Chains A and B, each alone.
Chain A
Amino acid sequence: MFKKVLIANRGEIAVRVIRTLRELDVKSVAVYSEADRSSLHVRLADEAVCIGPAMARESYLSIPAIISAALITGADAIHPGYGFLSENADFSAACRDNGITFIGPSPKSIQQLGHKAEARKMAVKAGIPVTPGTKDCVYKDAAAQAAKIGFPIMIKAAAGGGGKGIRIVREASQLANEMNMAQSESKAAFGNGDVYFEKYIELPRHIEVQFARDSHGHVIAFPERDCSIQRRHQKLVEESPSPAVNKKLRESLEEAAVKLAEAANYVGVGTVEFLLTQSGEFYFMEVNTRLQVEHPVTEFITGFDLVREQLLAASGEKLSYTAGHTVPYRGHAIEHRINAEDFTRNFAPSVGRIEEWIVPGGPGVRIDTHVYAGYNLPVYYDSMLAKLIVWDQTREMAVARAKRALEDFKVTGVKTTVDAHKLIVESEAFKAGKTDTGFMERLLAPAEPVAAK
């Protein structure tokens, strides 16, 4: 196991990683930008270094600054968290070149699986169903290629993630314009303008399978997570298991994830995302070669610590469970992402000082956060304040617990999305488990007059 790990991230995920490091008796190094001097991860880590100004490009996204921080502090490994440099093959390679272990897959795996078009090819080879679309990136003959798939189509950034760089095109006349926008958006966000096309499936469910694999070839696929509740491709609520997946489908999904992890000779934790159609077919979408925001729902129902599994895999040890490809689970877990946004004003970002911060607790409740009363919210980074994760024996009970926990959540000083989540858990569709990627739009739309049908 490592002696000292630097966390190349901020916010709740940095705090999350520090907690596991402490349990494993591994020293932690926090890095922070000037704007994050008073963030919780800086206080909790054994050491902390300022790596740059507020702008992420010069701090959390600066490979030289982070490598330099690791060398100066004598860290033998770097945990990249999610976002920032977590899926950057150059960063993984820079760690390796400086004798530091990157806690994540090899540069090659990141390139293969993180590049969406490459990942698709690999999925096809492994016999996993994929959505109809272009096999390679589209550079020319866009109109012909789009027509072959049939509208509506999605233009997706090859290096994309987090809902960025996705555009839906419903007719051929919009294609050229949307293509331009997708390419420049992708170039700006990921430094790579490559895009590809995919058939757009109306109102699918977003299902994903967490997997972990060590260098000895042990691989585990965890029960699926359902992340259908999204707004503008950003996930709001995630749950596990999915109310739409039965035992047989679960086995097929888990088998697909295992196959892909093996085909890529992957070491670490990752997630395969699928689209599940209303009629129950699933299609491979993409692979995330990192820990995900919603990993706690898996931890809650299986009892695993996925950060620990990451550390075990990265340090060349065996996963904590090596007796098979699947693991038992118990009950149901739901995660609510609480953001600093005013949901009554179209989720406009809200900034300021957190005056009051009272978080729920009690049985089956977990809060992952970097926020505390008196914390000044920096404007430079994402708006997530906390993740509220609840567990109970059945989905129905978990929903009731989520409702109770949301009522206990008291924040003043900034606007939060707590009320939006209350609306979600009180909706009949959610209670019935009838969710798809159009759920939020319908929930927030003003009620349609009956006559308008």
Chain B
Amino acid sequence: MDVKTLTKMTKWMETTDLQEITWRSGDDKIGLKFNNNPEHSAAIASSMEPVLSPSIGIFRFARPGKTNHLKEGSSVKNGAELGVVEVGKDFKSVTAPSNGLLKIISIEDGKPVEYGQPLFFIEPK
């Protein structure tokens, strides 16, 4: 069987509701199966936007000597500093990616965080 025939058969299969066919002739066997991979279609819809840790390190709601009163439900502005990740002598800023409501705080002060770990969830306005 050549590619032309295979293409023809595939085209024909598309006009039917068959998912899979097998054709046998002596020792020859050909199977055609539609690829309906559901792996990527199972997206979970959410309007919330995660704020990810920019670094591995220790999370702080504020830089040393400062305070920051964040509460779930408070509104945040795009670019506002929500906290810092202390890595060595460095502090990496965690900022709000958009204007919105701070829905979830998923981190505590002084806890270690990994790179890419979700720290907050914001509902954009």
**A50: chain B residues within 8 A (beta carbon):** 56, 114-117
Please give the number of chain A residues whose Cβ is less than 8 angstroms from any Cβ of chain B in the complex: 14
Nearest-CB distance from B48 to chain A (Å)?
21
CB distance from B67 to the nearest CB of A (A): 24
Contact A72/B115 with A64-B90, A67-B88 known, Cβ cut-off 8 Å: no
* B43-69 Cβ-contact flags toward A at 8 Å (1 or 0): 000000000000111100000000000
CA distance A149 to B88 in the complex (A): 47
A34, B116: Cβ atoms under 8 Å? yes
B interface residues, tally (CB under 8 Å): 13
Please give, as numbers and ranges, the residues of chain A lying within 8 Å of B114 by CB-CB distance.
Answer: 49-51
Give complex CA distance A49, B117 in Å: 10
Query: In the complex, are the beta carbons of B112 and A72 less than 8 A apart?
Result: yes
Q: Inside 8 A of A49's CB, which chain B residues have their CB? A: 56, 114
Residues of A within 8 A of B21 (CB): none
Hey, which chain A residues are within 8 Å of B116, CB to CB?
A: 34, 50, 53
Q: How far is the CA of A59 from the CA of B58 in the complex (A)?
A: 16
Q: Assess whether A68 is interfacial by the CB under 8 Å rule.
A: yes
A52 touches B90 (CB 8 A): no
Does A236 reach chain B (CB closer than 8 Å)?
A: no
Does A411 belong to the interface (CB within 8 Å)? no
B87 at the interface (CB under 8 A from A): yes
Asked if A68 and B88 make an inter-chain contact with CB atoms under 8 angstroms apart, the answer reads yes
Residues of A within 8 A of B90 (CB): 64
Q: How far is the CA of A67 from the CA of B112 in the complex (A)?
A: 13
Closest to A65 in B: B56
List chain A residues, Cβ under 8 A from B88.
63-64, 67-68
Once bound together, how far apart are the Cα atoms of A328 and B89, in whole Å? 49
B112 contacts A65, C-beta separation under 8 Å: no
- Nearest-neighbour CB distance to chain B for A54, whole angstroms, equals 11
Contact B58 A65 (CB under 8 A): no
Q: Is A237 engaged at the interface, CB distance under 8 Å to the other chain?
A: no
Residue of B nearest to A64 (CB): B88
Assess whether A110 is interfacial by the CB under 8 Å rule: no
Question: In the assembled complex, how far is the CB of residue B56 from the closest CB belonging to chain A, in whole angstroms?
Answer: 5
A69 CA to B113 CA in the complex, in Å?
Answer: 9
Q: Which residues of B contact A65 (CB under 8 A)?
A: 55-57, 87, 115
CB-CB nearest in chain A for B57: A68
Q: Which of B55, B56, B57, B90 has the most CB of A within 10 A?
A: B56
**B57 x A53 contact (CB < 8 A):** no
CA distance A65 to B88 in the complex (A): 8
CB distance from A329 to the nearest CB of B (A): 43
Could you say which residues of chain B place their CB within 8 Å of the CB of A68? 55-58, 87-88
Contact in complex: B87, A72 (CB < 8 Å): no
CB pair B112–A51 under 8 Å, yes or no, is no
Q: Is the CB of A72 within 8 A of B55?
A: no
Within 8 A of A (CB), among B5-55: 55
Residues of chain B contacted by A64 (CB below 8 angstroms): 87-90
Q: Chain B residues near A59 (CB, 8 Å)?
A: 115
Contacts of B55 in A (CB 8 A): 52, 65, 68
**Contacts A67-B88, A68-B56, A68-B58 supplied; 18 other A-B pairs, CB < 8 Å:** A34-B115, A34-B116, A50-B56, A50-B114, A50-B115, A50-B117, A52-B55, A52-B56, A52-B115, A64-B87, A64-B88, A64-B89, A64-B90, A68-B57, A69-B56, A72-B56, A72-B57, A72-B112
**Which A residues contact B (CB, under 8 angstroms)?**
34, 49-53, 59, 63-65, 67-69, 72
Top 8 nearest A-B pairs (CB, nearest first) are: A64-B88, A72-B112, A50-B114, A50-B115, A52-B115, A64-B87, A51-B56, A68-B87
**Chain B interface residues toward A at CB < 8 A:** 55-58, 87-90, 112, 114-117
A–B complex contacts, Cβ < 8 Å, 5 sampled: A49-B56, A53-B116, A59-B115, A64-B88, A65-B56
